Amino acid sequence: MPDHYNWAAVDDYIAERLIGDDPVQAATLASNQAAGLPAIDVSFPQGKMLQLLARGAGAKRILEIGTLGGFSTIWLARALPKDGRLLTLELDPAYAKVASANIAHAGLSGKTEVRVGPALDSLRQMIDDDVPKFDFVFVDADKENYPAYFELSLKLCRNGGMLLFDNVVRDGEVINPTSDDPKVPGARALYDALHANPNATATAIQTVGEKEWDGFLLAVVGREEES
């Protein structure tokens, strides 16, 4: 059985064979590093997966919660048609500034809005404003608020739309109710919220790679017989 030291090498192989060189996204990561942002972006294979999922869903309106430096934002925005729009929410103004520059360098500013401030406030305001529903929501932000992000995103996503949450396995600690990882309770509460809510159908999958052992949770909005 190969050990975890091969995980990053397999990611490299996948990227080389299926994605190829991506100077724009390489520059995005270099810009993030130069600005001192934490290296917690999705991997290249994961980013391309986000793009393909959003494209496969036919998404014209995408919501992202947690922008960081815009690496995942760019992958998602690439999935949009010409008249598509992406709104990404970022708490930290310094991160948002870096992300905006990266998005501009990618040529995607016309499709993308970076909104600064607490995401919960932004989401509640959008609900109050009755904004058009989103087709695809990607959540990669503070884990303690994952249950709240789920409940609010459910109200903002169309029936049949997709919700995708990152970092829901956490080195397997998600099954440990007494874990020392402070981000585990939020992930566990997300599972509990989905288990109790009949208005979304979900699953989760474990992932390994350069980000080591973690996972994604995917939900489709609407009762299973209605979607």
For 10-43, what is each residue's pLDDT tens digit? 999 999 999 999 999 999 999 999 999 999 999 9
Instruction: Say how far apart CA 93 and CA 109 lie, in whole Å.
Output: 17
Whether the predicted model's global pTM rises above the 0.75 cut: yes
Is 170 a member of any domain?
A: yes
Q: Which two tokens stand for residue 216?
A: 């994604």
Nearest Cα neighbor of 184 from 171, 194, 174 is 174
Instruction: Say how far apart CA 153 and CA 132 lie, in whole Å.
Output: 12
Is 227 a member of any domain?
A: no
Is 97 a member of any domain?
A: yes
Return the CATH number at 205: 3.40.50.150
The fraction of the chain above a pLDDT of 70, given in percent, is 96
Give the tens place of pLDDT for each residue, 115-140: 999 999 999 999 999 999 999 999 99
Q: Is the model's pLDDT at 60 over the cut of 90?
A: yes
For the chain, what is the mean pLDDT? 96
Residue 155, Cβ neighbours under 10 Å: how many? 13
Q: Is the model's pLDDT at 45 over the cut of 70?
A: yes
* pLDDT for 197: 96
Query: pLDDT class for 224, splitting at 50, 70, 90?
Result: confident
Is 204 a member of any domain?
A: yes
Is 226 a member of any domain?
A: no
Is 202 a member of any domain?
A: yes
Give the tens place of pLDDT for each residue, 163-179: 999 999 999 999 999 99
Nearest Cα neighbor of 89 from 148, 10, 39 is 148
Q: Which two tokens stand for residue 107?
A: 């040529």
Q: Is the model's pLDDT at 5 over the cut of 80?
A: no
Instruction: Say how far apart CA 221 and CA 195 lie, in whole Å.
Output: 13
Nearest Cα neighbor of 156 from 188, 112, 122, 114 is 122
Give me the phi and psi of 118, to 5 degrees please.
Answer: -60, 130
Is 145 a member of any domain?
A: yes
Domain of residue 38 covers 4-221
Instruction: Say how far apart CA 96 and CA 114 lie, in whole Å.
Output: 7
| Region of 130 on the Ramachandran plot (φ > 0 left; ψ -120 to 50 alpha; else beta) | left
Query: Number of folded domains in the chain?
Result: 1
Give the tens place of pLDDT for each residue, 63-97: 999 999 999 999 999 999 999 999 999 999 999 99
* pLDDT for 226: 52
Could you tell me where the DSSP H helices lie in the chain? 7-14, 23-34, 44-56, 71-77, 93-105, 119-128, 146-156, 184-196
The length of the chain in residues reads: 227
Is 24 a member of any domain?
A: yes
* pLDDT for 4: 63
* pLDDT for 223: 80
DSSP-based three-state secondary structure for 164: strand
